[in-house]
Chains A and B, each alone.
Chain A
Amino acid sequence: MVLLAVLAGCDKPSTTQKSANQTAASAGEGAPEVVVTDELPGRPERIVSLAPNVTEILFALDAGDRLVGVTRFCDYPAQAAEIPKVGGIVDVDLEAILAKEPDLVVGTSSGADPKIAKKLDDAGIPYGFVRMDNLAQTYRGIAKIGELVGAADKAEALAADMEAKMDRVADSARDGEHPRVLMIFGRNPLIAAGPGTFGHELVELAGGKNVLADAKAPYPKLDIEKVISLDPERIIDATMAGEGLDTEFWNQYPSIDAVERGHVYLIDDPVVLRPAPRLVDGLRTIREAIVGSASARK
């Protein structure tokens, strides 16, 4: 559930930055975008990260060396793997957090254990949970995390730089062809990017038209019949490694336009969909696939 947990949720770009005190951080519609404690350290020295994208952001802010605990899904950058683990995303081990004696816990509210904020309150540990369910929230979230760890200026710059880079790719994609794209997260079952997911947002920004833009579910499960009838011109297969990264699966269905014309692209690094600065790389990869660049093909 990592990817789904991190990306799940509804995505009404909210323009106001709400702040709630001492309320449980819960995922879902209408949940506050930022939940922080009253008392925050100016420059925390012992930070626990409760999400892989938060860990990436902290490293990008040069705060990685202050991390004393991360989740078992935090695998980037490489140094993150050496930091002690405090559990998963939805199964955080409170005792492991307490043992690290952190002066700040940072997480994303979507997918997080809704009780963890309450538990941290009881333990008197300052925390900040930041929702990053879409791009707009991601830029704001990076800035907020910067504030929390005492690197506000750096974070502002990082977010602005990321936004500029994303916009540049999006601008270059505005004109020209807009092929119909199917983005796949898993083959067994076939799970695809529907509206309201990062995959959808990136595909559309990169100049594609998501064939599932009208789906009712954010992560619809398809059968192969549905894929054949949607007849996408590009298939971006972000199935995580381990299921076999080859196009043999798709080659069985040559009637699909993308398969027939050799436009199936495999992305073996699904963390490009994590709301963190590396999303820029993800967008570029998807853009290359949509352009039909041979370098994106595998």
Chain B
Amino acid sequence: MKRPTTPLTAPRLLVTVAISAVVAVGCGLVALAYGSSGFGGFEVIRGVLTGSLDAAQEAIVMQARLPRVVFAAIVGAALATSGAVFQTVLRNPLADPYILGISGGAALGGTIFMTLGSVAVATVTMGVPAAAFVGALGALALIFAVERWTPASRASNYVLLLTGVVFNAFASAIIMFLKSVVSAQKAQELLFYLMGSLAVEGTDAATIVACAAVVLACVVGLIWFARDLNALSLGDDDAAALGVPVTQVRRWTVGISSVAVAVAVAFSGLIGFVGLVVPHGIRLVVGPDHRVLLPTCALGGAGFLIVADLVARSAFGVFSSTLPVGVVTAAIGAPLFVFFLWRSMN
């Protein structure tokens, strides 16, 4: 990440962001037009434009597809933007919300809540995300505690990553324990939750809007720090020499990113590789300048997850089963991960 940044001009920024926005919206439209039922393609577009959809078709577009597309966009944007920030702040190309333990913390929180269980559906739909959010904040608190306790040095980033890895192992041990003592039905639910799914049936519009607002605020907040992040990617000493308050910037950006991740993971479970693959891919295209990288990552992540979820939903025809989207992102992401690893070693 030490290569010189291409000079950023306002038109270049606008054009890049506009192109990504068009791509993301395009992904959204395609995802609205197809799904697990036969109803799709131009029929949908014509129906929506002329208002000639029957009740079932309208329900499919408005109640089945639209919430998922919107949610995929929110979650994808949160994960990809946070991933880009984590990679810069920790100066490690393999950093993402997973490896830091934030996703693990959220999963643990959600799992504990699902296990202890509440009876009413309404409590489950709100309670699990709330518990997951608390779990993610717990993991975040741990990260900050470790950061405070570690003497500032190059090694401190490795300490953070290791803490994340160890915390994840710990979280998954507890999750496995809980899975082994709950009922069969609960275990099945947990498994699905942990595999990551954008099935948001039963989540009301207000909740989705609230999530979107929080994630949007987080993305804007991170873009606010874009210049500082650029400085940080030169190295702590250089950044400090440029007058950037390194510790504070690091704390704020990790904090904001974690809030975004917590919101996303709380509702969708663990969706891997978006925070890792998308930032790397985008960086190859637009370069490492965070002023353009972060907004493009948000849009790119949204588009990527929308398409991945479209694949997951459409899989019914092939497998007679809707796949959890985490399976799709992992299938695309794992080979790319290896590729980036190989590239970073050369």
Contact = CB atoms under 8 A, between A and B. Distances in A.
Are A and B co-members of a single complex? yes
Interface of A: 1-5, 73, 91, 186-191, 194, 215-217, 220-226, 228-229, 231, 239-240, 242-244, 246, 248-249, 252-256
A221 B56 CA distance: 20
Interface in B124-170: 124
A246 B39 CA distance: 29
Contacts of B122: 244, 248
A220 B321 contact: yes
6 contacts: A1-B187, A73-B184, A188-B193, A223-B36, A224-B201, A229-B38
B36 A226 contact: yes
Contacts of B184: 1-5, 73
A225 B183 contact: no
A228 B61 CA distance: 10
A225 B320 contact: no
Interface string B308-343: 000001001001111010000000000000000000
A228 B56 contact: yes
Cβ-closest 8 pairs across A and B: A229-B37, A244-B121, A225-B64, A255-B59, A216-B320, A2-B184, A255-B55, A217-B320
Contacts of B313: 223, 225
Contacts of A254: 55, 59
Interface residue SS majority, chain A: loop
A11 B261 CA distance: 45
Contacts of A243: 121, 124, 185, 189
B75 to A, nearest CB: 16
A222 B56 CA distance: 16
A242 B188 CA distance: 13
B65 interface: yes
Interface in B82-121: 117, 119-121
A281 B322 CA distance: 32
B60 interface: yes
Nearest to A244: B121
Nearest to B65: A225
Nearest to B195: A189
B51 interface: no
Nearest to B61: A225
Contact of B319 (A4, A217, A256): A217
B183 A252 contact: no
B316 A1 contact: no
A225 B37 contact: yes
A253 B64 CA distance: 9
B35 interface: yes
